[in-house]
Structure 1
Amino acid sequence: MFFGSIPALVTPIRDDKVDEEAFRRFVDWQIDSGSAGLVPCGTTGEAATMSIEEHDRVVALCVEQSAGRVPVIAGCGSNHTTVALGHMQRAKAAGADAALVVLPYYNRPNQQGIIAHFTYLAEHCDLPIVVYNVPGRTVTDISVETLAEVAKLPTVVGIKDASGKLERVTGHRLAIGPDFCQLSGNDETSLAHMAMGGAGCISVTANIAPRLCADFQAACREGRWQDALALQDRLFPLHTALFSDASPGPVKYALCKLHPEFPQDIRLPMTWPSDASRKAVDAALAHAGLV
Structure 2
Amino acid sequence: MQELKGSFVALVTPMKSNGEIDFPALKELVEWHIESGTHGLVSVGTTGESATLNFNDHVKVLEKTISYIDNKIVAIAGTGANSTDEAIELNKAAISIGYEFALSVTPYYNKPNQLGLEAHYKKIADSSVIKNILYNVPSRTACDLEPETVNKLIHHENIVGIKEAVDDPKRYKTLIKMAKNSSEPFYVLSGDDPTYF
TM-score interval for Structure 1 and Structure 2 normalised by the shorter chain: over 0.9
Q: CA deviation at 1:97?
A: 1.9
The aligned counterpart of 1:166 is 169
| 2:167 and 2:194 in contact (8 A); partners too | no
The aligned counterpart of 1:137 is 140
Q: In structure 1, how many angstroms separate the alpha carbons of the residues matched to 2:38 and 2:193?
A: 14
1:112 aligns with 2:115: yes
TM-score, with length taken from structure 1: 0.64
Q: Deviations over 1:166-214 (max 9, x none)?
A: 21121012233264211110123312xxxxxxxxxxxxxxxxxxxxxxx
The aligned counterpart of 2:26 is 23
Greater relative contact order (CA < 8 Å, ≥ 6 in sequence): 1
The aligned counterpart of 2:5 is 3
The aligned counterpart of 1:265 is none
The one-letter amino acid paired with 1:130 is I
The one of 183, 190, 193 equivalent to 1:187 is 193
Structure 2 gaps of 5+ residues are none
CA-atom RMSD in angstroms: 1.1
Q: In structure 2, how many angstroms separate the alpha carbons of the residues matched to 1:176 and 1:16?
A: 41
Instruction: Give the structure with the higher percent helix.
Output: 1
Q: Deviations over 1:10-51 (max 9, x none)?
A: 111002111111111110110110000000111211221111
SS of residue matched to 1:48: coil
The one-letter amino acid paired with 1:53 is N
Q: In structure 2, how many angstroms separate the alpha carbons of the residues matched to 1:153 and 1:53?
A: 29
TM-score, with length taken from structure 2: 0.93
Q: In structure 1, how many angstroms separate the alpha carbons of the residues matched to 2:171 and 2:90?
A: 28
The one-letter amino acid paired with 1:13 is M
The aligned counterpart of 1:125 is 128
* Count, aligned residues: 191
SS of residue matched to 2:43: coil
Structure 1 gaps of 5+ residues are 192-291
Q: CA deviation at 1:122?
A: 1.1
Q: In structure 2, how many angstroms separate the alpha carbons of the residues matched to 1:162 and 1:169?
A: 10
| 1:161 and 1:185 in contact (8 A); partners too | yes
Q: In structure 1, how many angstroms separate the alpha carbons of the residues matched to 2:50 and 2:71?
A: 23
Please list every run of at least 4 consecutive aligned residues from structure 1 whose deviation after the TM superposition is greater than 2 angstroms: 173-176
**Percentage of identical aligned residues:** 37
The aligned counterpart of 1:12 is 14
Q: In structure 2, how many angstroms separate the alpha carbons of the residues matched to 1:144 and 1:95?
A: 30
| 2:92 and 2:128 in contact (8 A); partners too | yes
Correspondences of 1:239-278 after superposition (within 5 Å): none
Q: In structure 1, how many angstroms separate the alpha carbons of the residues matched to 2:155 and 2:116?
A: 16
| 1:145 and 1:175 in contact (8 A); partners too | no
The one-letter amino acid paired with 2:85 is T
Q: In structure 1, how many angstroms separate the alpha carbons of the residues matched to 2:161 and 2:109?
A: 23
Larger-Rg structure:
1
The aligned counterpart of 1:281 is none
1:32 aligns with 2:35: yes
The aligned counterpart of 1:206 is none
| 2:131 and 2:160 in contact (8 A); partners too | yes
The aligned counterpart of 1:280 is none
Q: In structure 1, how many angstroms separate the alpha carbons of the residues matched to 2:25 and 2:67?
A: 14
Instruction: Give the structure with the higher percent strand.
Output: 2
Q: In structure 1, how many angstroms separate the alpha carbons of the residues matched to 2:179 and 2:87?
A: 25
Q: Deviations over 1:101-143 (max 9, x none)?
A: 0111122111111111111111111100000000011111111
| 2:126 and 2:158 in contact (8 A); partners too | no
Q: In structure 1, how many angstroms separate the alpha carbons of the residues matched to 2:169 and 2:138?
A: 14
